[in-house]
Amino acid sequence: MLDKDENLAAEDLRRAASIALDRQFLFGDKSRDQRSFHQILDAEDYYRNLFDALNLELICDRTAGYVGVVPRESHLTVGLDTEHSLFLLVLRVIYERAAQECRVGEFSQVFTDSEVMLDTFVAHTGRKRPGLVRLREILRTFSRQGLLEIDEDEDKAIRFRIRPSIRDIVTHGFLQALEEYTKGGEGEENGTDEAGGGQ
């Protein structure tokens, strides 16, 4: 690759791979991601082979404007606490509902807020609503993982956009793992389970 393109530097290739592994998802509409985002798209085959060697899958969605690096479906389960796992499911539910109602915005994002998220959480899990401080922690974790963007954080409401990358994390394998966990009834005492995706 370096021989074919004299403007390409090995360090640039390494940097983009490192940033993708660190952030998991990169978006064309985020200024901090743009350089690495375009680097990966320009050398998609190279990065696909590179991540494949690490048993990771490269996601390139040019329509929605993002790239991502995720574990293969068979290795998508990593330890997440139960609450995070359930809220991932809630984000996917909200996203799919908006898609069915044709309420998907630019870059395939879905606009929502913490009240909708909490109502959906209670309706689908039967659990009590967590406090706003805890919810902020969860949303910030998902924001760092490239699953959502927080727009406004007020005293009693947080407005945010769910990224289409939620579909690459909450997959069929994720749902199966979560279902097995809930049937088994284990993991809540120690705070972790095996139903998660992400970093």
Question: Which tens digits make up the pLDDT trace of 174-198?
Answer: 777 766 665 655 444 444 343 444 4
Question: Which tens digits make up the pLDDT trace of 84-109?
Answer: 889 999 999 999 999 999 999 999 99
Residue 71's pLDDT is what?
87
* Among the ranges given (30-34, 74-78, 112-116, 179-183), the one the predictor scored with the smallest mean pLDDT: 74-78
Higher pLDDT, 7 or 66: 66
* Residue 193 tokens, joined: 């389970």
